[in-house]
Structure 1
Amino acid sequence: LGAEEGSSLGSDSEVNGSSASGRAHRADRYGFLGGAQYSASADSNLPVNVARQRELKWLNMLNNWDKWVSRRFDKVKLRCRKGVPSSLRAKAWQQLSRSKHLMEQNPGKFEELDRQQGDPKWLDIIEKDLHRQFPFHEMFTLRGGHGQQDLYRVLKVYTIYRPDEGYCQAQAPVAAVLLMHMPAEQAFWCLVQICEKYLPGYYSAGLEAIQLDGEILSALLRRVSPLAHRHLRTFKLDPILYMTEWFMCIFSRTLPWASVLRVWDMFFCEGVKIIFRVGLVLLRETLGSAEKLRDCQGMYETMEQLRNIPPVYMQEDSLVPEVVSLTITEALIERESRVQLQRWRDRRGALQHTPSRRLHGARAL
C-alpha cells in the first residue's frame, strides 16, 4: 500500500465491475452512477418526520457543541450510532474530529500550501491514482473533472504539510469520501485529523502501525470467535493479508455505501475501536461456525471468502447492531496494543517509525 510499491490498491473499476456494464442512467442518493456501490432504492427508509426530528436535534447539538461533548457525550455517541443526518454529516464530522477547530487555527494555510509546487516524486504517483477513486461516483467520473482536481489538491497539500510522511495510496479513497461531503480545504483538515489523531502511523512508510493493529485484531478475534481465529492460524493467514484495506481505507472499499457512512459516523465519534469492531464482526460472521468453514478448506478458499463477504453481513441493518453490541473497548485495545508492541520489540527490535499517541474519538481530541 505504500506509494513506493506501485499501485497495490486495485482500481475501483476492479472493485465495482467494469465501467461499460456498471453504469446507471441517474445518480443514486449518494451520487453513484453505477457499479457495486450503486443503490437502487431512491430514498432512506427513515420516515420524513423522524428524519426532520433528528435534524433538529443535531442542529441544536452542533450549535452547542462543546457543552454536549463535555457534559452529554453518551447522547452524542448514541446519536452517531443511529446515523448522522445526511444534510449535516459534513458539519458533524468536522466537529467530531475537531478539524473545524484546526482549520480555524490555521487560516489561509491550505491555500498557502496549495500554491507550492510539491515534490514531483509524490505528485506523479498521486496523478496516476486519481482515476482509481470511485470512478462511478458523479464527482470522480471525469478525468480532470472538479472532483479529481480537488482530490489532487488535498493529497498534494498533505505531502507538503507532512513531508516526512508524503503520500500513501490508501489516503486517496479516504480523502475522496471526505470530498463527497465537503470542500477541499475542509476535507484536507479532516484528513489531517484522521492521519495524525485517529490512525497515527497508518500511512507512514513501512506500515508498522497497521501490522501491529493486525496482530491486535487477531488477538481480539480469539475472544470474539475462537473458531475463526483458529481457522486463520491453521492456514497461516496473517492479518495483514485481509485487514489492510479494511482498516487503512476505513471500509470505504468494502461495505455498501449506506454502511460505509454509518461506520464513518461512529468512527469519528468513537475512534479506531469501531474499525476493530467492524473487522471482528465480518470475520465472525464469515468464518465463525463449522457450517461457514465447510467451503473454506484452504488458504485460497478462505481468502476468496474474505474478499467476497456475503452481502447480508454487510448491510447496515444487520452490521451496525452487531458492531454496537460487541464489547471491545478502548481500554482493551490499548492493553492488547502494549502486549503486541512488546512482542514486536522482542522479535524485531524497535519500531522504525514511532507514531504519535492514538486518540480514541471525539471526547479524547
Structure 2
Amino acid sequence: MSEESSVNERKREDGGGGDESAQKECKHVEILLDIDYVDDYIDSCIPATLQQGGEEGRAMRGRGRGRGRGRLDDVEAEMIESDEEVEAIFINHEDVQALSPDAATSSVPISPGEKVRMWTEEILPNFESVIRKKWVHALWKQGIPWKLRQNVWPRAIGNKLNLDHDKYESLAMVVNDRSFFIPGIEIINNDLPRTKLKGKDVDEAQLRVLLCTVSALQPEVGYVQGMSYLGAIFLLFMAPAEAFVCLGNLLSCRFFPSFLRMDAEKIELRWKVFEILLGQELPDLAYHFHTIGFSSDLIITEWWLTIFSKNFPVELSCRVWDCFLLEGESFLFRAALGLCLLLRDRMVGRAMEDCHAVLMRSGESVEAEDFFRAVGDVKASSKFIREMLEA
C-alpha cells in the first residue's frame, strides 16, 4: 500500500474527524496551487497577531529573515524570541568572523582548525550559556566539524526519554533472541541491503541491532521505512549505544510521531503548508505542478522521514542535519523550497515522472554551496513557517 493510500485509509478509519481549527487548516485544499487564492488561504490560517498592522503585517509575513529555532536538551521546547537569537539566514565566512568574539576585527577567513578550536574551547564547555548567541548560530550553520558531531548532536537532541547504555544493552540482548518478536522485523531485513548512503559504507550488522532496539522501545509503532537512513547517519559519528539514545529521542519529538503513526491530519497539513509556500516562492513551478498533478506527498514524506539523507551525499546531508537540529522542522521546509528553486528550470514544462526523477536524484547534481545559497534565497522565515504549522 502506498504512503498516500495508507494516510487516506487511516483518515477514513478515524471518520475524517478533527476539531474545528484542524478543519479550518485543511479548507480550500482543491485550490492550494491556484496562485490567486494563496494569499487568502494564508490569511485564513495564520494567527491574528501576524495579520495586524495592515501593510506592515503583510511585510512581516513575506520577509525572508526570521528568527531561528533551537533544539536544546528538551527537544519539545521553543526557543525564546529575543535579540540574542540569530536570524534564520545563511551567511558567509566574513559574517561569521564579525559575530565571533575572537575574530570580530579579523579579515582572515576562519580556518577549519580555528573552527574546531572555537567549538571545543568556547562553545561545548559553555553550551547552555552560549547556544542562543548569534555568532554560535552563524558558526553552526557553516557546518559542525565532522568529529565534533558526536558531541554536538546529542546535546542538540537531548535525552527526554532518559535512555542510556544499559537500556541499549538490555534491549540488544533481547532482540538477539530469535524467539523475541520485533515489530517490523521483516521490513527491517528488507531495508538493510537497500540503505545506501552516498559516500559512506553502512555497517548492516550494527544498523540492524540499532533499528531493532529502537523498534522495541515503541512496539505500538515498530519500524517504519526511512528509519534505517536515520540510524545509518548516527552510526557514522557514534557508537551504537549513543546512536540508540539519539535516534530514540529524535523519533519521539516534533513531526516524527505523526509520520510514524500515519496521522493523516498532521501529515496532510505539512503537504499543504509546503504547497502554499511553493506558491509564494515559485508560483510558476507551483502552477506547473498543479497542472500536471504533481502532489507534494510524492516528495515530502521521504525527505522528512530521512532528513534528506537518502537523496544527498553524506557531507551535504550532514550539514542539513546540523541546520535541522538547530532550527527544527521549519528548516526542512526551507531546504525543500531551496532545492526546488535550484532545480526549477529543469522541471518547468516537464512531465510529472520527469519532475519526480529530478527531485529524487538531486544529490547527483547539487553542489553544497549552491544548495545553501538557494536556501538563503527562500523568503519564508522559519518563524512564519512555524506559525503556519501551529495555526
Is the TM-score greater than 0.5? yes
Residues 124 and 152 in structure 2, CA contact (< 8 A), matched pair in contact too: yes
1:83 aligns with 2:139: no
SS in 2 for 1:115: helix
Specify which of 103, 118, 130 is matched with residue 57 of structure 1: 118
The structure-2 alpha-carbon separation of the partners of 1:326 and 1:49, relative to structure 1 and needing over 3 Å to count, comes to closer
1:173 aligns with 2:258: no
Alignment of 1:123-138 (within 5 A): 123-134=185-196
Q: Which residue of 2 aligns with 1:116?
A: 174
Alignment of 1:269-348 (within 5 A): 269-287=326-344, 293-294=348-349, 296=350, 298-309=351-362, 314-338=366-390
Q: Which residue of 1 aligns with 2:324?
A: 267
The structure-2 alpha-carbon separation of the partners of 1:121 and 1:164, relative to structure 1 and needing over 3 Å to count, comes to closer
Distance 1:137 1:114 in 2: 28
Distance 2:320 2:183 in 1: 33
Structure 1 residue 102, shift from structure 2 partner: 5.6
**Structure 1 unaligned spans of 5+:** 6-46, 141-146, 340-365
Higher mean alpha-carbon deviation, 73-82 vs 202-211, is at: 202-211
The structure-2 alpha-carbon separation of the partners of 1:137 and 1:130, relative to structure 1 and needing over 3 Å to count, comes to farther
**Larger C-alpha radius of gyration, 1 or 2?**
2
Residues 195 and 202 in structure 1, CA contact (< 8 A), matched pair in contact too: no
The structure-2 alpha-carbon separation of the partners of 1:308 and 1:138, relative to structure 1 and needing over 3 Å to count, comes to closer
1:251 aligns with 2:251: no
Distance 1:136 1:307 in 2: 13
The residue type paired with residue 360 of structure 2 is R
Residues 313 and 363 in structure 2, CA contact (< 8 A), matched pair in contact too: no
Structure 1 residue 174, shift from structure 2 partner: 0.9
Residues 168 and 213 in structure 2, CA contact (< 8 A), matched pair in contact too: yes
CA offsets, 1:266-289, max 9 Å, x none?
1111111121111101112222x5
CA offsets, 1:90-133, max 9 Å, x none?
1111111124x765x64512112222245245223212221111
Distance 2:361 2:199 in 1: 22
Residues 140 and 322 in structure 2, CA contact (< 8 A), matched pair in contact too: yes
The structure-2 alpha-carbon separation of the partners of 1:111 and 1:270, relative to structure 1 and needing over 3 Å to count, comes to same
Specify which of 192, 208, 225 is matched with residue 152 of structure 1: 208
Specify which of 54, 58, 68 is matched with residue 130 of structure 2: 68
Structure 1 residue 205, shift from structure 2 partner: 3.6
1:182 aligns with 2:235: no
**Structure 2 unaligned spans of 5+:** 7-107
Q: Which residue of 1 aligns with 2:153?
A: 93
- Higher relative contact order, structure no. (Cα contacts within 8 Å, ≥ 6 residues apart): 2
Distance 2:389 2:330 in 1: 12
Distance 2:363 2:238 in 1: 32
The structure-2 alpha-carbon separation of the partners of 1:57 and 1:180, relative to structure 1 and needing over 3 Å to count, comes to same
Q: Which residue of 2 aligns with 1:39?
A: none
The structure-2 alpha-carbon separation of the partners of 1:254 and 1:139, relative to structure 1 and needing over 3 Å to count, comes to closer
Distance 1:77 1:202 in 2: 28
SS in 2 for 1:134: coil
Residues 81 and 324 in structure 1, CA contact (< 8 A), matched pair in contact too: no
CA offsets, 1:19-50, max 9 Å, x none?
xxxxxxxxxxxxxxxxxxxxxxxxxxxx9971
Distance 1:220 1:116 in 2: 46
SS in 1 for 2:312: coil
Distance 2:282 2:304 in 1: 19
Quote the sequence identity (%).
Answer: 22
SS in 2 for 1:116: helix
